[in-house]
Structure 1
Amino acid sequence: MLADKHILLIVGGGIAAFKSLDLVRRLRDRGARVTPVLTSAGAQFVTPLSLSALAASKLYQELFDLNDEAEMGHIELSRSADLIVVAPATADLMAKMAGGMANDLASTLLLATDKRVLIAPSMNVRMWEHAATRRNLATLQSDGILVVGPNEGDMACGEYGPGRMAEVFEIIDAIDTALADGPLKGKHVLVTSGPTHEPIDPVRYIANRSSGVQGTAIAKAMMALGAKVTFVTGPADVAPPSSADVIQVQTAQEMLAAVKAAKPADAAIFAAAVADWHVVNAGVRKIKKDGNGLPALEFAENPDILATVSQMTEGRPRLVVGFAAETDDVIANATSKRKRKGCDWIVANDVSPETGIMGGSENAVTLISDAGAEAWPRMGKMAVATQLAKRIAEAIA
């Protein structure tokens, strides 16, 4: 994906700048060419020599460099790359970008470029949550700036919360997506993932063992082929793909509403393990043991999200793919489910405890369609996602 791609990397002034050194190394390992731009504040955290040496490239720092500017170097720099990445993107840099300022080399490059820009914000939690930063972020996103992170965690300042720069592998995933020019470019794909949590009371809920690993892998594989992905996820064990449009939900009702709001889509992949029932008489307070026996819970069926979308008369995606997690008669049950729901494909798998598939790192699936049942060998969930994404691309590209 990154072979022969040219990345212009702007390193801002934050403690997370040390991660930029690893980012450069890993981008080059993947075949990318990296040209570093170091701000004056960034130079307080990493040295020009270390950044230039790892990039095996000239490093740029000054706007008014006589040699570079004799040929309008800042304009050339801003146009020659395939993608501009700002990591870390400090609150100051984000404010300059949102305000259209150009008083140093980095901000001038960002204002003069005609290429896509990806930022990885990094700052103190209070700075990230400040109303000014929120306004600047909204402005940048409306301008088409891509954003990865930030994550939540311990800060160098001793505080805890959102503001940590995304990890290097997350930034590289976002770069892959930004540069994707595959068969699904221009297509919108909807992916659901993870379990749903149906409340019994404010502290208890009904759920299942879904980890969200397979759904997340599918979203990444679709983006790697160029698709724009809306990712609707329940409370999963894994982080959602950073470059997708992520919508986090709790219940089946919330997931259905999010799915409807995400239309239109060219394809929809329903990998979420949605609870079949919810508790009608869920408690508004924690249910206590009071010596009068077990509480009487009343259940009702949840909406059937797969069937609802599959049977739409208007706005139905061209391809609707469901998942069937079965513990017995896998092919027969999945084939019946496909016909009953009205979807185009069903990805069936055996989730019996002895398979280790539910919540594990591998999967063994059978793709069921009009053409019949096609068994795939057991493989990692990312490999399953990649193979499924290629088949979807062949069907809708």
Structure 2
Amino acid sequence: MVSLAGKRIVLGVSGGIAAYKAAALTSKLTQAGAQVNVILTHNALQFVQPLTFQALSHQPVHTDTFTEPDAHVISHIELADKADLVLVAPATANIIGKMANGIADDMLTTTLLATKSPVMVAPAMNVNMYDHPAVQANMEKLAEYGYRFVEPGVGLLACGWIGKGRLAEPEEIVEAVRAFFAQQEKGNVRPLDLHGKRVLVTAGPTREKIDPVRYITNHASGKMGYAIAEAARDRGAEVVLVSGPTALKKPDGVRFVAVESVQEMFDAVMEHLPKSDIVVKSAAVSDYRPKTVHAHKMKKGDGPLVLELDKAPDILKTIGERKTTQFVVGFAAETQDLIKHAKSKVERKNLDMIVANNVLAEGAGMGSDTNVVTLLTRAGEQVDLEKLSKREVADKLFDAVLLKLSERPLSELS
């Protein structure tokens, strides 16, 4: 876990009901070792008080561009210059509009316009406001500027509506901040080139019940799929992760759908498929399932046991049949004739791209932290990647997907 010790974070709080969560966020960032300099907009002052944030951050709180406690500096310029990150949480539709259009009429917006530091935005508003074309266009513009987003949650909003627009929980925002600094330290902060895209990812194994205590499954850990979901999130996409049972921590900032059986995964994928732009099916799904699921534990007999299996729904094939404009990526985990089987799968399942790996190769097995893969496209292009971390593979995959979406050859993959 990357440390926030010594990081200087300017936290801008705008005027929405979610401003109360910014107090907990200030506390958690401060406890993590960051120096948090809070700027409250005039509208935020209708919901929260400066003293709260001063007590939690142990720093002066700024509310007015023209209040200059230190005559030796201009406050908004000093904050802008020295920040390691400017974080706006909550970010209302109003403040997002100002940010996108260069309006600087208060302490927060002047600081944002003056800073060359990275900016992270955590929107919070009514679902209809969030979906409004003007707000979406403003967020697109901010993404083009290089601003990063912490996606809002879905649920009951203060206004009574149910939908997307809830401020991400303080813990999720802190994790997003940690993830950003971790990428920055590794020198692999990616552009927000997936902003505006909806990415559907499947991960992990499925379990097919035999009886209440036994099931059929496989060795998939979910690490590759989770890395793909996190990479898409960090590049600005709105991510739905449909995951079978794993021991992994649920990634922050994605919509997480937990499933167990192949039927449950099939239903979840088909529900989200129509609204997806990119589908990456990395889950290792059962090909067969028990024909009969026993209501009680089967007792051990003296002789051998014959278990009759039925073919399970083919999720990837169905995606290929139902897709319209979606770019679909499949996975082929093989132990022999890797390229032959992968090419066949691309054709049989109507895929745009496939990620093929020999699970017997060193550093490429299920459960490992690395992978060795070959990317193949429907057009017959092929790129072999060296052994990389699964997160690096995920980013290379999205580099390749974006190349194909722009109709450029995979030979340009760096």
**Normalising by the residue count of structure 1, what TM-score does the alignment of the two structures yield?**
0.66
Distance across 1 between alignment mates of 2:388 and 2:321: 32
Map of 1:351 onto structure 2 = 359
Residue 274 (str. 1) matches residue 277 (str. 2): no
Write the mapping of 1:19-168 to structure 2, written as runs, cut at 5 A: 19-21=28-30, 23=32, 25=34, 35=38, 46=56, 48-49=57-58, 52=59, 58-60=60-62, 67=67, 76-77=106-107, 79=109, 83=120, 135=156, 142=163, 144-148=165-169, 165-166=171-172, 168=174
SS for the counterpart of 2:106 is helix
Cα-to-partner distance string for 1:210-266 (whole Å, 9 max, x where unaligned): 111111111121222222111111112212321112111111111111111102321
Report the alpha carbon displacement of residue 388 of structure 1 after superposing the two structures with TM: 0.7
Report the alpha carbon displacement of residue 394 of structure 1 after superposing the two structures with TM: 2.3
Residue 200 (str. 1) matches residue 181 (str. 2): no
Contact 2:21/2:169 (<8 A) preserved: no
Map of 1:155 onto structure 2 = none
Map of 1:153 onto structure 2 = none
Residue 336 (str. 1) matches residue 344 (str. 2): yes
Distance across 2 between alignment mates of 1:7 and 1:214: 33
Q: Counterpart amino acid of 2:235?
A: L
Q: Counterpart amino acid of 1:351?
A: V
Map of 2:223 onto structure 1 = 213
Write the mapping of 1:321-332 to structure 2, written as runs, cut at 5 A: 321-332=329-340
1:351–1:118 Cα change, 3 Å: closer
Distance across 2 between alignment mates of 1:172 and 1:225: 15
Cα-to-partner distance string for 1:285-335 (whole Å, 9 max, x where unaligned): 22222x4534432201111111111122xx434311100011112122212
Distance across 2 between alignment mates of 1:334 and 1:173: 33
SS for the counterpart of 2:275 is coil
Contact 1:268/1:317 (<8 A) preserved: no
**Normalising by the residue count of structure 2, what TM-score does the alignment of the two structures yield?**
0.64
Distance across 2 between alignment mates of 1:339 and 1:119: 35
Identity %: 29
Q: How many residues align?
A: 319
Report the alpha carbon displacement of residue 185 of structure 1 after superposing the two structures with TM: 1.8
Map of 2:248 onto structure 1 = 238
Cα-to-partner distance string for 1:142-196 (whole Å, 9 max, x where unaligned): 36134247xxxxxxxxxxxxxxx4594355449999x997222211111111111
Distance across 1 between alignment mates of 2:33 and 2:10: 12
SS for the counterpart of 1:226 is coil
In structure 2, stretches of 5+ residues that fail to align are: 1-6, 14-18, 41-48, 69-75, 77-94, 96-104, 113-118, 127-138, 143-147, 184-188, 407-414
Output the aligned Cα RMSD.
4.3
SS for the counterpart of 2:239 is strand
Map of 2:309 onto structure 1 = 299
In structure 1, stretches of 5+ residues that fail to align are: 53-57, 87-93, 99-113, 122-133, 150-164
Map of 2:263 onto structure 1 = 253
